[in-house]
Structures are given as structure tokens and as C-alpha cells.
Amino acid sequence: MPIFRLTKDAIQPLPETSFPAHGIKERGDLQRLLRANIDVVAPDVLVIAEEFAEWEDSKRRIDLLGVDRSANLVVIELKRGDEGGHMELQAIRYAAMVSKMTFDHAVDVFRSFLDRLGDKRDARGSVLEFLGWDEPHEDRFAQEVRIVLVSGDFSRELTTAVLWLNEHEMDIQCVRLKPYDSGQGVFIDAQKIIPLPEASEYQERVRHKAVEEREARKDTGYWFMNTGDGPDGGRAWEDSRKYGFMRAGGGRRYIEAAKKLKVGDKLFAYLSGHGYVGFGEVTAEAVPLKDFIPAGQARPLPELELIAKMRPDNLNDPEKWDMCAEVKWIRAVGRDQGVLKSRAHLGTLSRIKQPDLVAELLKHFGSERTADGE
């Protein structure tokens, strides 16, 4: 739909034009301008790299790489043409390549980016401030990679592929940039066409329902849960082991994840950098940390002797606070006794779909023994 100019006597459509017709180059102009005004195509994103290509045996480059407020990486691919080409396939490759990026690596990448621009900002401090964190949380960083495709238009083949990928749990957006000639300059109409703003919430519900149905069909009956760790970040495995709980929070997505645990669910606790450290059964559903009273205790968890330091956002902000589910440990071990370090799942909480992994974990943790305190 064109853009119209309103005058006293008429409503006149502005003629469509093209970026090449006005000498606007893809990288030298459009990419540079979007880099400095990223909210036009990706609101609430911090750009941490341009022309990113830190991988072996590849000359391919991500146009813009960013991180969003939920600590997800964002791959932004740009084409000034009218079809989009095969940019969705290219972006998926890039997303896979950066999916294992750590917080510290992202800071190093951002530091190099700022140095190239002559920007004197502190890279680490800027990322932490953008995320609203006091300290890094590796277990919450880059749990997902979003993709934003930006083009003058998109072919039916591309949009069909993107819609199908979104239905299968990939977060890909298509933003159309259409230039118009006003006679006195170029105007740009920026429209998110996938998902449509008015349909995005509905599509998200449909997508999650489809994912849950697929997971239910593949479900082994066991959960994976990353314990999170780091006393200064408000979490310590030793506390979870001692008082019998698992916790998640720091954002709406993680809060909703914790609520999925139901009484009777069996879960394996995973500690980043150490492996699987516990096997237990949920005995009470998740409640806000500030209200959680461990089994056998008379006071809520924040009033007990803990290794982790309680942070205000763990306790008081309903959009960020931690949720605790009570767990009776069948067996829980120290961090140095963790097993199968290389077989972690992505995310804070997820269904285990590999029967062979469950069988191997049960060999280590058993199914009948009680917690042994080792």
C-alpha cells in the first residue's frame, strides 16, 4: 500500500522508488544508517557487531549482530532488492554459527566493534546495563537466536519458508523497507510483515501449542533443568541441593518455564561447566522465591542460611523474580561429581527426548535410592 501526501485539495500517492535509483548502497548507506537506528527494524536490540565473521573456513559475514533485552542473540540480514533472495537460508546458517556464543565472547566482539567506530564506551558495562544485569548470567545468555530479515520486498517462496520455520519454533521476522520519492527526499515505509503485529500474539500461542504437542509425542517423561550457578548472581547449586528446590527466573520466559513443573515430574539437574548433578521428583509446584518455604523449614528461603546472595530483582520484581519448585532429591551430588557434561540441553527447562540419555543418567543416579549427600 503506497504512502499518501495530504494537501488541502487532494490525497496524492507518493511514487515508489528504489534504493539504487537514489544511489543508496546496501552496506555503505542503508546498513550504516540502520546500525545507528536499529529500532527501525529491531526494537530493543543492542548492535554488538557489523560484518561479523569470526569462524573458520568461511568468508560469510553477518550484516548486523545484536542482543535483545532477554539476552537472546539477534542476526539481522539486509538486502536492498525486491525479492530477498535466499536470505532466510543464509541467516539460519549464521544463527547456527553464533548459537554457542558466550557472554564474555559477546563482550569481546562488542569491544572490537566500538574500537572500530572510535566509541569510548565500556563494552562490558554497556552490555550489562542494556540487559539490566549486575553480573553476567551465562546460563541465561544466548539461549535463543532470533533472526530479522530486512528487504525491499520478499518473494512468496521466502515468506512461505519463514512461516513454516516459525511454526517449528524458529523466531524469524521479515521487515519490508519500501522507499518513496517525495520530490524533496526519500521516505521509507518500514513494515513488519511476518509476523503481522496484530497476529503475532496469536501466532506465538499457536506455535507454542504445536511445539508442546510435538514434545508430548516424543516425551520420555523426564525434564532437563539448568540449575544456574554463581553466588553473586543469586544462585548456588549447594543451596538447591541442601534445601530441596530448583529455581528459574530473571524474565517472563523463565518464570513461565518454572511453572511448567508439576507434582510428580522427574527431573535431572544440570550445572553448567560440571554436568548433571542431581535427579529428583517435584513435590510442590513453583512459587515466588520470597514465598518458598523448604520442606522441614519454618521460614522462607531468603531468611535461611544460603551461599548465594539474594538480589532485589530475585525477590521483588514480578517480571524478573525467581520461582522455586520443591524437589525431593533421589540423588544429588557435589559439583565435582557431575556427569555427561557435554550432553546438555539448550534453555533453562526442557523435555528430554532421547531415551538413551535418560537410560544413561539413570545408571549414574539410580531410580530408587534416596539422596546420599555425596
Decide if pLDDT at 374 tops 70: no
Report the pLDDT value the prediction gives residue 372, as an integer from 0 to 100. 44
Q: Does a cis peptide bond (omega within 30 degrees of 0) precede residue 195? A: yes
Report the pLDDT value the prediction gives residue 369, as an integer from 0 to 100. 47
Residue 255 CA to residue 253 CA, distance in Å, equals 6
Residue limits of CATH 3.10.590 in the chain: 219-365
Q: What is the mean pLDDT of residues 328-354?
A: 87
Q: What is the mean pLDDT of residues 225-242?
A: 80
Q: Of all residues in the chain, what percent carry a pLDDT higher than 90?
A: 43
Least confident of 49-53, 193-197, 232-236, 347-351: 232-236
Length of the chain, in residues: 374
Report the pLDDT value the prediction gives residue 156, as an integer from 0 to 100. 87
- State the Rg of the chain over Cα: 24
DSSP 8-state assignment for residue 304: S
Q: What is the pLDDT of residues 164-187, one digit of tens each?
A: 888 777 889 999 988 888 877 888
Contact between residue 69 and residue 132 where contact means Cβ atoms under 8 Å apart = yes
Least confident of 56-60, 84-88, 138-142: 56-60
Q: What is the pLDDT of residues 241-286, one digit of tens each?
A: 999 999 888 778 888 889 999 999 999 999 988 899 999 999 999 9
Decide if pLDDT at 24 tops 70: yes
Residue limits of CATH 3.40.1350.10 in the chain: 4-212
DSSP letters spanning 146-181: EEEEEES---HHHHHHHHHHHHTT--EEEEEEEEEE
Summary mean pLDDT of the chain: 84
CA distances from 312 to 256, 290, 304, 307 (A): 20, 10, 16, 16
Decide if pLDDT at 140 tops 90: no
Count the alpha carbons within 13 Å of 91 in the hemisphere toward its beta carbon.
Answer: 30
Q: What's the pTM?
A: 0.60
Residue 361 CA to residue 339 CA, distance in Å, equals 8
Q: What is the mean pLDDT of residues 121-148?
A: 90
Q: Helix/strand/coil (H, E, C) string of 190-227?
A: EEEEECCCCCHHHHHHHHHHHHHHHHHHHCCCEEEEEC
Report the pLDDT value the prediction gives residue 155, as an integer from 0 to 100. 86
> In the structure grid, which three cell numbers stand for residue 121, read together?
564506551
Which amino acid, 166? N
More confident residue, 70 or 345: 70
Which amino acid, 180? Y
Q: Using pLDDT thresholds of 50, 70 and 90, give the confidence band for residue 217.
A: low
Residue 315 CA to residue 289 CA, distance in Å, equals 6
DSSP letters spanning 78-106: EE-SSS-TTHHHHHHHHHHHHTT--HHHH
Burial of 216 (0-12, 13-18, 19+ CB in 10 A): exposed
Q: Domain 4-212: which CATH class?
A: alpha beta
Q: What is the mean pLDDT of residues 299-328?
A: 86
Report the pLDDT value the prediction gives residue 58, as an integer from 0 to 100. 61
Q: What is the mean pLDDT of residues 13-41?
A: 83
Q: Using pLDDT thresholds of 50, 70 and 90, give the confidence band for residue 313.
A: low
Phi-psi region of 23 (alpha: psi -120 to 50; beta: other; left: phi over 0): left
Least confident of 1-10, 110-119, 240-249, 354-363: 1-10
Closest residue by Cα to residue 46 from 96, 119, 138 = 119
More confident residue, 261 or 232: 261
Q: 219-365: which CATH topology?
A: ph1033 like fold (3.10.590)
> In the structure grid, which three cell numbers stand for residue 254, read together?
523463565
Residue 178 CA to residue 119 CA, distance in Å, equals 31
**Contacts from 303-310 at CB under 8 Å and sequence distance 24+?**
304/243, 306/236, 306/239, 307/231, 307/236, 307/238, 307/239, 308/230, 308/231, 308/233, 308/234, 308/235, 308/236, 308/239, 309/231, 309/232, 309/234, 310/234
Report the pLDDT value the prediction gives residue 284, as an integer from 0 to 100. 96
Q: Of all residues in the chain, what percent carry a pLDDT higher than 70?
A: 85
Report the pLDDT value the prediction gives residue 277, as an integer from 0 to 100. 95
More confident residue, 25 or 190: 190
Decide if pLDDT at 117 tops 70: yes
More confident residue, 137 or 78: 78
